[in-house]
């Protein structure tokens, strides 16, 4: 991976991680369009640490408040006494589904599910679901009004993000909106909920990536992560400001158009669904040499 590729992929990761348009989809599509090798799920997970850092710093006051309330609640044996302590528990509980499903379906997520056909279908399907939710949701509830039921439901929505193309922010924002949360609060909770899941995924994959015989250089990893941090910070600030005044319609339209464009390019052979991907579940078969050729040699 060249330095230019690392910069481009880091920029794509940062800009698309927090917008409900799927960073995984774009990290598959962009290399395919440029004729680059697929960076792989492990590389994508590692440079997510840059966007995690952006969330940690951007929401540092919120996270410190939640952590303090969480431990104070435990010390006082009143873990659910305050809004902040409850929200901290909701983030932890909401992380469990994606953690369990991620471990169970790890191989499929890194191989067969990264097909561009799967990604295009996910882009379109979630867009339609988000459109329906936007039309039916009340957009009135706040984070202070969240319950255990809400935390578990949004956590289950987050687990759907393991399907490439669905978007972690897209699924969690959709889930939160379906429960009646205001758009800005839905986005804010989505950002907070991203911290445990993406941090653990990035650290888990970093270990495997460093042990691999073929991997991007350390410089490519560092540059990609730093660029993802900067662009991720900008995306967070922009999205929170945008959703205070507007709906998610622009993202819905973008997802549908991108998904349809992918299907057209795949059908015409411009793009290949599994280009650069290897299914580790399928052993490579040895090349069979015809008997006649063996005899002549």
Q: Which residues contact 33 (CB under 8 A, 6 or more apart)?
A: 271
Q: What pLDDT is recorded for position 290?
A: 45
Confidence of residue 125 (pLDDT cuts 50, 70, 90): very high
pLDDT digits (tens, 9 = 90+) for 176-198: 999 999 999 999 999 999 888 88
Radius of gyration of the chain from its Cα atoms, rounded to whole angstroms? 21
Contact 90, 146 (CB under 8 A): yes
Q: Which residues contact 256 (CB under 8 A, 6 or more apart)?
A: 123, 124, 127, 128
Domain borders along the chain are: 3-296
Please state the pTM of the whole predicted model.
Answer: 0.83
pLDDT digits (tens, 9 = 90+) for 229-284: 999 999 999 999 999 989 999 999 999 999 999 999 899 988 888 755 544 444 44
Phi first, then psi, for residue 181 (nearest 5°) are: -70, 150
Could you give the C-alpha distances from 110 to 44, 81, 107, 116, in angstroms and in order?
A: 10, 41, 5, 13
């Amino acid at each position: 991976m060249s330095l230019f590729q690392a910069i481009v992929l880091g920029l794509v990761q940062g800009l698309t991680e927090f917008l409900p348009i799927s960073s995984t989809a774009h990290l598959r599509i962009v290399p395919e369009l440029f004729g680059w090798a697929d960076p792989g799920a492990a590389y994508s997970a590692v440079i997510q640490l840059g966007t995690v850092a952006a969330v940690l710093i951007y929401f540092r006051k919120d996270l410190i408040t939640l952590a303090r309330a969480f431990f104070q609640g435990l010390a006082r044996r009143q873990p659910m006494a305050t809004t902040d302590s409850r929200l901290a528990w909701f983030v932890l509980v909401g992380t469990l589904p994606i953690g369990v499903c991620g471990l169970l379906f790890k191989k499929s997520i890194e191989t067969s599910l990264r097909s561009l056909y799967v990604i295009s279908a996910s882009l379109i399907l979630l867009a339609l679901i988000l459109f329906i939710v936007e039309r039916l949701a009340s957009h009135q509830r706040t984070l202070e009004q969240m319950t255990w039921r809400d935390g578990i439901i949004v956590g289950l929505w987050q687990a759907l993000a393991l399907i490439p193309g669905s978007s972690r922010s897209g699924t969690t924002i959709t889930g939160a909106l379906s429960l009646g949360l205001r758009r800005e609060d839905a986005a804010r909770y989505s950002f907070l909920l991203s911290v445990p899941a993406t941090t653990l995924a990035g650290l888990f994959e970093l270990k495997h990536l460093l042990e691999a015989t073929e991997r991007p250089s350390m410089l490519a990893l560092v540059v990609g992560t730093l660029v993802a941090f900067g662009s991720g910070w900008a995306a967070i600030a922009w999205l929170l400001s945008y959703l205070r005044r507007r709906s998610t319609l622009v993202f819905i339209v973008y997802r549908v158009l991108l998904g349809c464009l992918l299907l057209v390019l795949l059908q015409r052979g411009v793009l290949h669904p599994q280009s650069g991907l290897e299914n580790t579940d399928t052993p490579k078969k040895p090349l069979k040499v015809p008997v006649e050729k063996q005899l002549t040699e």
